[in-house]
Structure 1
Amino acid sequence: MIIEKIIGNVATIEENIPHIERVFMESDALLKRVQRVTTDHGNELGIRLKENKSLEDGDVLYMDENNMIIVTVTPDDLLTIMPTSIQQMGEIAHQLGNRHLPAQFEGKLMLVQYDYLVEELLQKLEVPYRREKRKVKQAFRHIGHRHD
């Protein structure tokens, strides 16, 4: 089976589907528009998305009256940064930006993929953080640019 479009997201679908198959993906794989995956039931799928959109946790790849196949993102090794002030947030954001490290935000938390150098920086700057396995809804995106 070839999947060419995302039907929706399980969070917004109100229909009661009795059976769910999952495609477990690392967050990096969410950016790939063309790939081959296997469901937790051993069924192989080809994904070839026509639109320029990344996959997200909970996206529905296939659905009929008896079955639904959804994307489930596996937890990433993350540093969850908890700045104590807007100044501390600005300082750490500036440091991470200089390293071209993509970040995500959830409320007052900043999430970055684990890097021992970043962990050392957080310790040095005395910025509260914790290392944890955590599921992200979207892939970490590197912003492309050049230094001229």
Structure 2
Amino acid sequence: MIRATHFIDHVHDAADTITLDETARHRRRLKMQSDSGISFLLDLPEARLLRHGEGLVLEDGRVIEVQAEPEPLYEVRARDEKHLLQLAWQLGNRHLPAQITADSIRIRADHVIKAMLIGLGAKVAEINAPFDPEGGAYGQADNTHDHSHGHHAHSHD
């Protein structure tokens, strides 16, 4: 089976696309199939979040462009910048993956978190959009993420 062993940041002439939600885009090694049926083995050196618009380079030189599939999200807005930072702190304290924009935070839909945010004065809109969360703080400058928590200890009081 043909392999994809590396990626490129921008694609100019893709042979095909592969459309995946955020969870399915966080991979290292997996048999995959492009939207038009090209089968390949993703075989990266380490797990990473494949970003919308990146290209997976196949051994034969073809490039498969990664497309972020829209998924149910909440778009969280605040009354001002300080309030948005306070909401971001609350979400970060719960270790929730979040996509930060200039004036909003996008998170996965979760009715318990929605109730908390509304209780804190946030405006929460249900949207269907690609999810591209921020990367982690522990050696993940390329915006990959890791859900292990063995690297630090703290209280959730």
In the superposition, the TM-score normalised over structure 2's length comes to: 0.75
1:40 corresponds to which letter in structure 2?
D
| Alignment match, 1:146 | 153
Where in structure 2 are the equivalents of 1:1-148 lying within 5 Å?
1-10=2-11, 13=12, 17=13, 20-50=15-45, 53-62=48-57, 68-137=63-132, 141=145, 142=147, 144=149, 145-147=152-154
SS of match in other structure, 1:108: coil
| Higher RCO by CA contacts (8 Å cutoff, separation 6 or greater) | 1
Distance in 1 (CA, whole Å) between partners of 2:134 and 2:89 is 21
**RMSD in angstroms over aligned alpha carbons?**
2.7
In the TM superposition, structure 1's runs of 4+ consecutive aligned residues that sit over 4 Å from their partners are: none
Change (3 A) 1:121 1:137: closer
| Structure 2, unaligned runs of 5 or more | 136-144
Residue identity opposite 2:65 in structure 1: I
The 1-side partners of 2:118 and 2:47 are apart by 39
Q: After TM superposition, give the deviation of residue 68 of structure 1 in Å.
A: 3.9
Larger mean Cα displacement after TM superposition, 71-80 or 45-54: 45-54
Query: Contact (CA 8 Å) 1:102, 1:143: kept in 2 or not?
Result: no
CA contact (8 A) 1:5 1:51 kept: no
Moved more, 112-121 or 28-37: 28-37
The more displaced of 136-145 and 31-40 is 136-145
Report how many aligned residue pairs link the two structures. 141
The percentage of counterpart residues that share the same residue type is: 23
Say if 1:138 and 1:124 are closer, same or farther in 2 by CA, change over 3 A: closer
Q: Which runs of 5+ in 1 are unaligned?
A: none
Q: Distance in 1 between matches of 2:101 and 2:154?
A: 29
1:52 deviation in Å?
Answer: 5.9
Partners of 1:54 and 1:124 lie apart in 2 by 32
How far the C-alpha of 1:91 sits from its partner, in A, is: 2.6
- Matched residue of 2:56: which SS? strand
